[in-house]
Amino acid sequence: MNAPHRRGACPGLSTPMPTGDGLLVRLTPTAPVPLDAFTTFCAAARQHGNGTIEVSARGSLQVRGLTPRSAPLFATAVADLEIAAHEGVAVLAGPLVRDSVIAGLDPAIHRERALLAKRMYTRVKPAYNESIQCNSPSIDTGVVATELREALAHARLALSPKVSIVVDGSGRLHLDAVPADIRLRASEPDQPPQFLVGLGGDAASATWLGSIASSDTADVVQSLLAIIVAHGPAARATDILRTDGVGRFHSALATWIAPASSPSQRAPAEMVGLHPTPDGTFTVGIGLAFGHAHADALVEIARIAAARGARAVRPAPDRTLLLFGVAAPDAADLQAAAERLGFVMRADDPRRRIVACPGAPACTSGLIPARALAATLAPTLARHISAAPGVLVHISGCPKGCAHPGPAALTLVGTERGCGIVRDGTARATPDSCVDAANLAAAISRIAADAREAAHD
């Protein structure tokens, strides 16, 4: 099978991307968004687009259905909200970076939301439950991420728009499952302030190089990115490691790097659920089924959350939203209300194990209606999905596999011959068989029965 063509750009507010249902834009907040601003954002998405709002796997907000005329109006409306956000090389920090929950909630800070997130972090006292965050006390990963964004904005490197950097702490809501070209993991609280440096993949598959002093972070990252740039505008760290090995990277870091063991494996981070904070409130994580929701549903959950004490929201990895400051007696009630609106509120919800791109007709490349099929097939898939973490089913509109480039236990992919079925592979693999979409439920049941029979042999 020929390698499918991949998109060469990421859609920002200033660079909308054409899709099957209009223009798509992406906003990556760098601090929590006050609920009033989030509600206005959703209303603007409904007014200027088709009302569909997505949260990406990395935790960005995406708005669909804009037009050449409405996209500038939407961008202006969002700019007026002064949401702290970033366009450029993706530098991700954990959603619960020490001070970021209350950043933007104090009235004085609320008026200055356009300022860099670093100022927000340093003007408020720490207010995180250390059982959630647990960063080294001398490393604030939110500030480090902001400093990197500033440095890279000035560097103007000709990088692939897919290149990303993760700046991770040592808390429970970590970013180990988020792939990145460059991964920085902060030391434990009882250790000297430093970062472990890894390249490519997620935390488990990354090539770990060693440790650096936190003060050397910007120099190290720019040196690593310079190597990637030298391999061309489409280069990624994983590709370079595969073809050239790790030697060049080690040589570039000789001034800063020290030998260090690879970090220990951590329990998977689960954004969905209730996360207690020391002031007696909860941060409530809600999942968007298959990564999307209508603006009206999001406005409604924001209204309900505000009535229960929530003050801000932040998109988070794994297609979730975190609501901050929910009064403890009302947290369970908010969960129930979110479930009634169709949001995912339990970590064991089978929809958490299914990833689906928009598919046809929202995407011009889509050959099957992936999200519609996901919703239709969810009851059938739920009967066969195990409790194992991670993506078990991937429904892709075409062989590009944008929503989940990695392998899944079962991949359903749109092809010219119908819905292709791939077991233990990616959307790019040659399907084992193809069936009509109307017969998928029966085919899935047969595959599950065969798997159970094989397991008993």
**CATH number (domain holding residue 358):** 3.30.413.10
* Strands 408-415, 393-396: pairing kind: parallel
pLDDT of residue 161: 87
Q: Say how far apart CA 168 and CA 256 lie, in whole Å.
A: 19
Give me the chain's average pLDDT, please. 85
pLDDT of residue 457: 60
Six-digit token pair at 197?
A: 């440096």
Same domain, yes or no, for 105 and 248? Answer: yes
Same domain, yes or no, for 246 and 392? Answer: no
Residue 31, pLDDT > 70, answer yes
Same domain, yes or no, for 367 and 248? Answer: no
Question: 3-state SS string over the chain?
Answer: CCCCCCCCCCCECCECEEECCEEEEEECECCCEEHHHHHHHHHHHHHHCCCEEEECCCCCEEEEEECCCHHHHHHHHHHHHCCCECCCCEEEECCCCCCCCCCCCCHHHHCCCCCCHHHHHHCCCCCCCCCCCCCCCCCCHHHHHHHHHHHHHHHCCCCCCCCEEEEECCCCCCCCCCCCCEEEEECCCCCCCEEEEEECCCCCCCEEEEEEEHHHHHHHHHHHHHHHHHCCCCCCHHHHHHHHCCHHHHHHCCCCCECCCCCCCCCCCCCCEEEECCCCEEEEEEECHHHEEEHHHHHHHHHHHHHCCCCEEEEECCCEEEEEEEEHHHHHHHHHHHHHCCCECCCCCHHHHEEECCCCCCCCCCCCCHHHHHHHHHHHHHCCCCCCCCCCEEEECCCCCCCCCCCEEEEEEEECCEEEEEEEECCCCCCCEEECHHHHHHHHHHHHHHHHHHHHC
- Is the distance from CB of 341 to CB of 60 less than 8 angstroms? no
Residue 40: Cβ within 10 Å count: 18
CA torsion 156-161-167-173 (nearest 10°) is 150
pLDDT of residue 99: 36
Residue 117 or 10, more confident:
10
At 158, is the pLDDT very low, low, confident or very high (cuts 50, 70, 90)?
confident
pLDDT of residue 138: 56
Same domain, yes or no, for 246 and 378? Answer: no
Contacts of 3 (CB under 8 A, 6+ apart): 428
Chain centre distance of CA 333: 26
**Pick from 252, 282, 298: which residue ends a domain?**
252
pLDDT of residue 333: 95
Residue 274, pLDDT > 80, answer yes
Give the CATH number of the domain where residue 126 resides.
3.30.413
Residue 98, pLDDT > 60, answer no
Six-digit token pair at 421?
A: 């079925």
Residue 415, domain member (yes or no): yes
Task: Give 92's Cβ-side CA count (13 Å radius).
Answer: 28
Mean pLDDT value across residues 96-109: 40
**Pick from 252, 280, 299: which residue ends a domain?**
252
Six-digit token pair at 457?
A: 């042999």
Same domain, yes or no, for 107 and 232? Answer: yes
Least confident of 5-9, 29-33, 111-115, 176-180: 111-115
Mean pLDDT value across residues 91-109: 53
Residue 76, domain member (yes or no): no
Total domains in the fold of the chain: 2
Residue 405, domain member (yes or no): yes
- Is the distance from CB of 326 to CB of 309 less than 8 angstroms? yes
**Pick from 220, 252, 284: which residue ends a domain?**
252
What are the tens digits of pLDDT across the range 133-157? 434 445 788 889 989 998 898 888 8
Same domain, yes or no, for 100 and 213? Answer: yes
Least confident of 113-117, 165-169, 222-226: 113-117
Residue 396, domain member (yes or no): yes
pLDDT of residue 9: 58
Contacts of 446 (CB under 8 A, 6+ apart): none
pLDDT of residue 380: 84
User: Please, what is the angle between helix 295-307 and helix 35-48, to 10°?
Assistant: 160
What are the tens digits of pLDDT across the range 382-434? 777 665 556 689 999 999 998 998 899 899 999 999 999 999 999 999 999 99
Contacts of 409 (CB under 8 A, 6+ apart): 392, 393, 423, 424
Laid out side by side, the sheet with 320-327 consists of 33-34, 312-316, 320-327, 281-287, 273-276
Same domain, yes or no, for 129 and 240? Answer: yes
Residue 126, pLDDT > 60, answer no
Residue 308, domain member (yes or no): no
pTM of this prediction? 0.85
* Strands 194-199, 207-213: pairing kind: antiparallel
pLDDT of residue 140: 81
Domain that holds residue 441: 352-456
In the chain, the amino acid numbered 409 is A
